[in-house]
Every structure is written in C-alpha cells, then in structure tokens.
A and B are shown apart, each in its own frame.
Chain A
Amino acid sequence: MLEVKNLTKRFGTMVAVDDETFSVSPGEIMGLIGQNGAGKTTTFRMILNFMNPDSGTVSWQGHKLTSADYNILGYLPEERGLYPKMRVEDQIMYFAQLRGMKAADVRSQIGPWMNRFQVKGKPTDRVKDLSKGNQQKVQLIAALIHMPKLVILDEPFTGLDPVNASILEDGIKMLRDSGAAIIYSSHNMGNVEALSDHLIMLRQGRVVLRGTVAEIRQSFGRTKLFIESPLSAEELASFAGVERVRADGARYVLTLNDPAAGEHIFAAATAKGYIPEFSQQPPTLDEIFRMKAGASHE
C-alpha cells in the first residue's frame, strides 16, 4: 500500500503541497484532480523521491520508497518524450530492462502490448515515424510492460482521442486487476468518474475533496433538478429553495439551494398526472471541480 502522510513542500514562500494525506491500496485506482499548479506533479515527484518533502512521509508497503523499489514502479511523466531515432522495440527494451525485465521476456511481450494498445506501426519502426498518439502509446507501454505494482501516471489522457482514451482506460483497469496500486492525475472529469475508485482534489496544495466519486457527489446533495412538466419557469422559480431556473430545450434545469424543494416541485408538477422527466441529481464531478476551483479565486 502507498501511504502519504502529512506531506508538505514549500518553494520559498509558496506552499506547493500543504499537509497532504492519502493512501492507495493494491488493486485500487486513485484519481488526483486539481487545477494547474495545484500541487499534483509536486506530489508525484515527492513520491518518486525526486525531491524531499519539508515534512511528512511517503511509504510503500510500510517502508520508505528507495531505488531498491524502482523495479515495481511504473511512471509516466507529464511531458512526453522518447528517443526519436530509436526503433520502437529498442526503446521499450531499454526502459523495460532498466526496470529489471529480462530481454527475452520483453521480446515476447512487446507484440501483445502493442496489440493491447492498438499501436499503428511495427516494432521495427522508428519512433519519429509514428503519429503523436501512437508515440504516446509506445511510451505508455514502456512505462507499464514490466507490470508494475505501483503506477504513477501524470496526465495520461492528455492528447488522446476518445477511442484511444478508452483503450488506455482498459489498460489501467487491467493493471488494477493484476493488483497494482494506481495513482493518476487528469483534467478530464469524464475519465476520472469512469476510472477512479476514489479521488482527491487539491487546491493550492491542500486536499479539498476526498472519497469515492459517488460519496463526493452525494456530499453536495441533490441540488440539480431536470424537469419537463406543465409548470412554467416563473412557477418553478417561485418555489422556496430554488436558486436558479434555466431553460434547456423543452425542459428546465434548476439549481436548488435546498434539496428538500424537489419534493414540493414533484408534487406540484405531477398534480395533473404524467410528466416525461423528473430527475433530481447531485452536481457532476465536472461541476464540483469548477465550483471548488472557482472558490480559490474568491
């Protein structure tokens, strides 16, 4: 299990990470969200031992992560790079051998991994001859082919189209099912909702949200209401607890400051019988992200 306890890092007067605590168990995927500069990459770098925290600890299976643990580590940095003139297979071979894999094992695994990520190109192709998306997939293979037990992916979905993003999602799930503890950052809340067992959100280095996606959404209450009924916008706005009413085609989208208002609206809307839509939901992760990120500017 990866345990991060009370991690703090300052650069001069700027606090990059402030008393951050979380843990990721084997077979679990944790999403790390936050705006640019929220402290995600700094967190990763402290886990990887690239920089020392000012205070707090990082431990893996109860001990400090050292170079002896490098072979169980899989890391994809935020900015991507490969050796452009090298052949795909040589590149993967080099990174895999640096993770302690035997050459014969790498050779037998390259084909299946290229198929899994649907890389368009041959193992003998030079990296620079592949498209950007395919280069990114090669780098992912280089980071994951040794089946790491602790996986750190910094913005892995950036630059991938929806088809390739879902291929990557499958790859990450496969690693989770093999027992890896996975931590990744993303700006795409769709990916985060689909993939994360739990997540934390950082704002200015501090954890402002934590839990499963469902828990986080529920904690905000069912403050979104989608309704298609005979009631007019004015009628809807007149209910106590309704903050805002917005027309969306034939339906209205209501923002509530009191979820209890939903019950009264439902009763009034269905008084004359059937209505095609009534759906009271918690805010989406995307909305929560905007809400929480926006709070930093207030």
Chain B
Amino acid sequence: MNKFWVVTKQVYKKNVRSGSWLFLVVSPILLAAIIIGVGFIMGNSAENAKLAVVTTQPAVTRTIGKAADVKAKTYTKAAADKALREEKVDGVLTFAAEKSALSAHLTTRVGGQTIDTAGITAVLNQMSMQSAAQQLQLSSAQLRQLTAPAKLKESAVAFKDGKRVNKDSSTDAVNRGIAMGITILMMLFMMVYGSILAQEIATEKGSRIMEMLLSSVSATTQFFGKLAGILLLLFTQIAVYVVAGGAAWPMLQKQAIVKMMLANFDFSALASVNGAQIILFFLIGTLSYAVLAALTGSLVANQEQVQQAVMPLTVLGLLGYFGALTAQAGDSAIIRIGSYIPFLSASIMPVRSTMGFATSMQGWIALGISTVFLGLFTWFTVRVYKANVLVYKEGGLGKALRSTLTFMRAQS
C-alpha cells in the first residue's frame, strides 16, 4: 500500500474508533432524536384524546372528529358521564342550544390526554356561523365575503450588486437562520477537527514517535496523509448525518418546525453563487484550520504542551464566530475587513453574503485571498513540520517557532 494511504488509514482508523469522535458524531443525532421523539410522542398522545360528544346529531360528532385532533364519539349524557368516570374518555362535550349563538360546554378529566380545544372552538365557530347564515338567508358567496380575513403582506428589501432585491421577510428569517447555522457548524467542524489533528501530531511529537515516522516516510507525505485522514473523518461525519437524516425524513417531514422551514426555504439559494461560495469557504476554512493545527501541533516539546497547541485554533475560531454573530446584526468596517482575512473570512464572509451585505464579487475576492493564503501557508508549514521534529523548546509555541526558523535558516 502507498505510504500516503497507510498514514491516512491509520489516522482515520484510530479516530473513527475513538470514543470522543463517536460521541461527537452521535450526540447531535441523539439530541435531535430526543427533541423529535418527545414532540412525536406528545403529538401522538394528543391525537389519541377521546372525546364524548353528547348530541342527537351524529353529523356534528363526525365534523368535530374530522376537524379537531380528537377521537370523537356520540354518547348520551348518562353514558358520557359514566365513560368519563371510568376514564374511557378524556372529556365530554355537551351543547346548550341558545337563541343566537351556539354554546357548548367541555368537561375535561384531570390527568386525561390534552384535548385540542382550539380545533373544537374552530369547528363550533364554523357551525355557529353556518347556522347564523341560514337564519339570515345568506348565500355561500355572501358568507365567504363576510368571513374573508384582512391580509397583511410583509416584504424586506436588500441591495445586492447595486440592484434592489425584494425578499419576503420569512425567507429573510430563514436566511438568518441558515447563516447562523453555517457559522456554528463551521466553527464546530474547524475547531473540533483542528484539535484532533493538533493533538494527534502533538502527541507524536511529544512522545518522539515522530522521529520513527520521519525515518520511514517523508514529512510531506506524512503531513498530507494526516490531512487526508482528518478530512475523511469529517466527510464520514457529514455522511452519517445525511444517512441518518434520510432515514428519519418521513418522520421529520411531519414536524411542525421542519414544515415551517421547508415552506420558507429558498431552494434556489443552494444552487446559487452564494451556495457555491459557502461550500468553498467551508472547505478552504476547514483546511486552513487543519494546516494551522498541524503547525502548532508539531511545535510542542512534550505531552503536557498539547493543550497549548490547540489554543491558537480556539482563539481564531472564537474570533471568527463572534465576527459572524456581529455580522448578522449589521455591517461595519471591522466586519468588512475581517471578512477578507484568512481564517476569519470563512466564518464572516458567508454570513455577509447571505445577509446581502456583500456582493458575490466580494465573496470571490475573499475566497481568492483565502486560497492563495492556504497554498503559501501549507508550503511554509510542510517545511516547518520537518524541521520541528528536532526542536524541543520548552516554554511556549512562539519560542519554539523562532527556534525552528533559526534551525531552518542554518539548514539551508
């Protein structure tokens, strides 16, 4: 097997079996499952609420059963009371015919299933209105006219590439949500996978395994092998979510929050320039963090310094995260500048684009800067990585980096 793949496979296998990675992957699924599961159980149990309807007209019971989330059945008054006492039903609905409006009384049993009162009220309103319309001899067209609700339509405007773009406010809210999601996901992925890589390399360096490795495989092959292993791990996590999401889709579709998001989600955005930029920023951003992680990881002198290696990642990740949060509130000079700085741009620029603060050209420029930076940074890191193996400098990563650079100059 090619040595590149031996390294990649080792990094992948070692981490994919580790408890911390499994937890990282499974915990969001578990959390989602719990939230959805609770909603599902609550939804199911609400549907199962049994309602005794005391009426002589079975049609009324049928209408209530269809329109409200209850199992409605016609009862006599005495039978209904008995059923309630014996906990066979969760509530009893009785009618009192009054002169003008339809009036009903709902008795619910404490400890019984929750009865959809809003649904029942809606049915009763409808029935009441129909009977009033009959008494007033209104045609169905007149009734519709009378009951037509007033309309309030909202719209928000944004200016993109100098042109006015109309957006409706719900799409805007969804965009905001997506931008927020991207920010959090990016920070999570970049920091988590950066830390895994930094720890991986720092442990090898601190325990001197690195010397054995570098006498068997070139620093460059080892470096890119590790990077590939980490990326594979990241793709595996995404794949797990895609599969889990696909399997749970039939159930997810029924969830109110998902329905709301689907209704307002502008699917064309995915295929747009913005969508492509987000994916590229995600890739370039994750790779930049991984390379930085490799650099800081290779600077440590012993196992105790491993946490120090992760520090720069955390700081940069948090800066990007807060930048992105601030960008959602509005554009400012600092945010504009930050959105072009490598490491930060991956978090900030997608938010600015999504919010309509940046043109797609600006997005491409920021991407270009990040890509060129990534290339140069990787070239630099590969060179430092090899030299670092022999530099064991206690007392901080900065000192270690200076020693390495001195060593590299002496070597050349």
- Point out residues on A near B: beta carbons under 8 Å: 11, 45, 48, 50-52, 67, 70-71, 73, 75-86, 90, 94-95, 97-100, 103, 139, 142-143
Closest chain-B Cβ to A181's Cβ sits at a distance in Å of 15
Tell me which residues across on chain B come within 8 A of A103, comparing CB atoms.
1
Tell me which residues across on chain A come within 8 A of B242, comparing CB atoms.
none
Tell me which residues across on chain A come within 8 A of B410, comparing CB atoms.
11
Tell me whether A73 and B208 are in contact in the complex, defined as CB-CB below 8 angstroms, given that A52-B411, A98-B3 are known contacts.
no
Tell me which residues across on chain A come within 8 A of B212, comparing CB atoms.
75-77, 81, 95, 139, 142-143
Q: Which residue of A lies closest to B215 (CB)?
A: A75
- B390/A51 in contact, CB under 8 A: yes
B1-40: CB near A (< 8 Å → 1, else 0) gives 1010011001001100010000000000000000000000
- B211/A77 in contact, CB under 8 A: yes
- B390/A81 in contact, CB under 8 A: no
Q: A51-B390, A81-B209 are in contact. List 5 more A-B contacts (CB 8 A).
A: A48-B215, A75-B215, A76-B212, A85-B18, A103-B1
Q: Which of B3, B7, B204, B389 contacts A50 (CB 8 A)?
A: B389
Tell me which residues across on chain A come within 8 A of B215, comparing CB atoms.
48, 50, 70, 73, 75
- With an 8 Å Cβ cutoff, the count of chain B residues facing the other chain is 26
Q: Does B214 contact A (CB under 8 A)?
A: yes
- B208/A81 in contact, CB under 8 A: yes
Cα A86 to Cα B11 with chains together (Å): 12
Can you name 10 A-B pairs with beta carbons within 8 Å? Answer: A50-B214, A51-B411, A70-B217, A80-B208, A81-B206, A81-B208, A83-B14, A97-B1, A97-B3, A143-B212
- A50/B390 in contact, CB under 8 A: yes
CB within 8 Å of A: which B184-230 residues: 203-204, 206-209, 211-218
Tell me which residues across on chain B come within 8 A of A51, comparing CB atoms.
390, 411
- B6/A86 in contact, CB under 8 A: no
Tell me whether A98 and B390 are in contact in the complex, defined as CB-CB below 8 angstroms, given that A67-B218, A70-B215, A83-B209 are known contacts.
no
- B216/A99 in contact, CB under 8 A: yes
Q: Which residue of B lies closest to A79 (CB)?
A: B208
CB within 8 Å of A: which B338-391 residues: 389-390
Q: Which residue of A lies closest to B1 (CB)?
A: A97
Tell me whether A70 and B208 are in contact in the complex, defined as CB-CB below 8 angstroms, given that A86-B14, A98-B3 are known contacts.
no
Tell me which residues across on chain A come within 8 A of B211, comparing CB atoms.
50, 75, 77
Closest chain-B Cβ to A59's Cβ sits at a distance in Å of 17
Tell me which residues across on chain A come within 8 A of B3, comparing CB atoms.
97-98, 100
- A97/B411 in contact, CB under 8 A: no
Tell me which residues across on chain A come within 8 A of B213, comparing CB atoms.
98
Tell me whether A94 and B10 are in contact in the complex, defined as CB-CB below 8 angstroms, given that A51-B390, A82-B209 are known contacts.
yes
